Amino acid sequence: MVLELHAPKGPTLHDLWNSTGSGLLTYLLSFVYVGIYWNNHHHLFQVVSQVDGLVLWANLHLLFWLSLYPFTTSWMDDQHLARVPTIAYGVNLIGAAIAYSILILAIRRLPSSSHMDEVFGSDWKGKTSIVLYALGIGLTFVEPWLGVVPYVAVALIWLVPDRRVERWLERRDEVSTG
């Protein structure tokens, strides 16, 4: 990820605040989001033993949305959390969330993933995220910066890594050992 932060024009804390302002915070938010995907992605491909063309495309589709983060982040930031850019950021978040769901679907349809139902489960986090993103977009019409609140909430939900995959790996190791 190449999220850009531009050095302040002057040497004081005031300059730092003026030039980056909310920038450090939105940078942190987008960094955490990319980290969440990187983290879950890493877990996901630990249990996947087969990859085909559709999975590669679904993966690329996810990458496309993630690659837009620097663009929507800096727009939202430059415009001091104005309505349209904050909506654009939310659309970007929803796009990535849907792309991740599609990637999981593409993996689950493979014969070699038939025994992995418990790994993915009901994906309540994925579904909740999309609802919260939509809520965030809606809240921008009340007060633009309010939309960021649900965006942050989703990041917090995901900060707890998905224990399901780890549990499944542990159980598999037990079975193969015991």
Interface ranges with a second copy (CB under 8 A): 1-3, 5-13, 16, 28, 31, 35, 38-39, 42-43, 52-54, 56-57, 60, 63-64, 67-68, 70-71, 74-75, 78-79, 82-85, 88, 159, 161-163, 166
56 or 131: whose CB is closer to a second copy? 56
Tell me the closest approach of the beta carbon of residue 162 to a second copy, in angstroms: 8
71 or 131: whose CB is closer to a second copy? 71
8 or 138: whose CB is closer to a second copy? 8
The SS3 call for residue 9 is: coil
Nearest to residue 123, comparing CAs of 143, 140, 103?
103
| 87 within 8 A of 125, measured Cβ to Cβ | no
Tell me the closest approach of the beta carbon of residue 35 to a second copy, in angstroms: 4
Distance of CA 106 to the CA centre of its chain: 18
| 92 within 8 A of 64, measured Cβ to Cβ | no
| Angle at which helices 83-108 and 124-139 cross, to 10° | 160
